[in-house]
Amino acid sequence: MPNYLNSTVIGIDVASAFSFASILCPDGSQFRKPFKINHTVKGFNYFLEQIKKAEEEYAMKPVFFMESTGVYHLTLFHFLKDNKFDAFIINPLVTNCNKNKDIRKVKNDKNDSLSIAKLGKYEDIKVSSDIDFNIFSLKLMIRDYYKLIDDRSSYKKKLSSSLTLSFSGYQDIFANTCSSASIGILKEYPTPQLVISAPKKDIIDILLNSRKGINWAEKKYTELIECANAAKYISLSAPRLSVSITTCISLYGAIDNEITKLLNEIKSFIDSDELPATLNKNIDLLMTLGGVGYITAVTVLAEIGAIDNFLKPKQLVAFFGVDPAVNESGKFKGDRVKMSKRGTRFGRRALFAVALASIRRKRNGEPTNPVLIKYYQENLKGKKAKVALIAIMHKIIKYIFAILKNQEAYQLRDPKLHQRMYIENHSREVA
């Protein structure tokens, strides 16, 4: 039975600058027509006046339900919590499945707020009633980090395209076109003609900044001159193309500096008293799992929030959107299903990186995770690479669930030994 069937329920459809609210009486009728709430002091005070009218009418405090809409719902949610109201956030996937149940298709903010109110009143749905704003801030910082990483990558690709046109062959000289030595050369000499006419000593000095020695610098200088002479004949001789190169370098450098600053802010925030002390412990615990680095561990923990919200590993799998979508009807059972991708894409991105690292070997030939690499090579043989990697992600999520729930470091065990230990422990509990 729904928890708020006999309560006054207010549904709120949130937008960026305003919201619409609908009030349902204890008997299910509308207290008044849906009304607009501007996201201003005046608008919020007007909302409080309407709430008090409903409160006085039915001698009970109303319960609030709103849809999670990026960051726009947070100010109103925080305002309601500050005023000691019970407010709940609904996942948009839930509201989208339950909106517009009538035959006539109607989609507007007023109707959506009423649908949300009915959903909260009549349906037994999963909701969130609390937000740790410090953890939320950490999550936003981590997401900004990944966005900056993507922006930096886009300028690196743009630089590569520009070099292909005006300085063909340059990218074969340096393992990383955006290394300090390469950037130093391109800043001063962005065209083949400038490289050829530059004093040898000046170029050698720039190359020596990489601290790889004079022999390496001499070798790279020779390669640069040969490349520049060849590029004069096979590349486009438009001097203005160098503007694109210098622009990409400047923007790449600026974003790189911002990434460094943001990483320092993230580390400082985690080490501060603003976040739970258990966060640092959980980061260390996750890093015992091979392939998980500091940022990956922080990403996973920031996206998950509280592990206590998940009772089973399958729930965590679904949260990350790695669960398979089901396609069945009557006797038909679809066997070409894809993962749902309905969860956190930033979390999936971090897990995908861990899965890739887990099936690789270190420079000394030692496997990062012997159990997972064996599973990948034997059990997933013949499967497509992406399908096999998703299976590895499933395993990793289960490891993460166990690590955080048990508060124990990851222990590398053969699956058969782990199964035997589980049976023995389960037998003792039954006895």
Average pLDDT on 12-28 reads 92
**C-beta neighbour count of 144 within 10 angstroms:** 15
Give pTM, 2 decimals.
Answer: 0.82
The whole-angstrom separation of Cα 251 and Cα 257 is 10
Contact 307, 399 (CB under 8 A): no
> Residue 229 in contact with residue 170, Cβ under 8 Å?
no
Alpha-carbon span 189 to 242, nearest angstrom: 9
Backbone φ and ψ of 35, nearest 5°: -130, 160
CATH superfamily, domain 9-131, is: ATPase, nucleotide binding domain (3.30.420.40)
- Output the average pLDDT for the chain: 86
What mean pLDDT is predicted for residues 165-171?
87
Q: Measured in whole angstroms, how far is the alpha carbon of residue 375 from the centre of its chain? A: 27
pLDDT digits (tens, 9 = 90+) for 359-406: 888 888 888 888 888 888 887 777 888 888 888 999 999 999 999 999
Could you state, in order of their start, the residue ranges of all structural domains in the chain? 9-131, 136-263, 276-430
In this predicted structure, the answer to whether residue 414 has a pLDDT above a threshold of 80 is no
Phi-psi region of 84 (alpha: psi -120 to 50; beta: other; left: phi over 0): left
The pair of structure tokens assigned to 414 is 């053969």
334-355 pLDDT, tens digit per residue, is 556 677 777 888 999 999 999 9
Q: Note the helical H segments in 59-171.
A: 74-82, 92-98, 109-122, 133-166
pLDDT at 107: 64
Q: Look at the block and give the residue holding tokens 């948009």.
A: 92
- As given in the structure block, the two tokens for residue 6 are 């006999």
Confidence category of residue 50, pLDDT binned at 50, 70, 90: very high
Average pLDDT over residues 68-86: 88
What does the block give as tokens for 21? Answer: 């609210």
- 328 forms bridges with which residues in the sheet? 333
| 217 Cβ neighbours under 8 A, 6+ residues apart | 204, 207, 208, 210
| Over residues 156-180, mean pLDDT | 89
Confidence check: pLDDT of 309 > 70: yes
Q: For residues 259-282, give the mean pLDDT.
A: 93
pLDDT band at 232 (very low <50, low <70, confident <90, very high): confident
Specify the pLDDT at position 424.
Answer: 61
CA dihedral 245, 249, 252, 257 (to 10 degrees): -170
Residue type, 384: K
240, pLDDT greater than 80: no
pLDDT category of residue 133 using cuts at 50, 70 and 90 = confident
Confidence of residue 1 (pLDDT cuts 50, 70, 90): low
- Under the banding of pLDDT at 50, 70 and 90, the label for residue 33 is very high
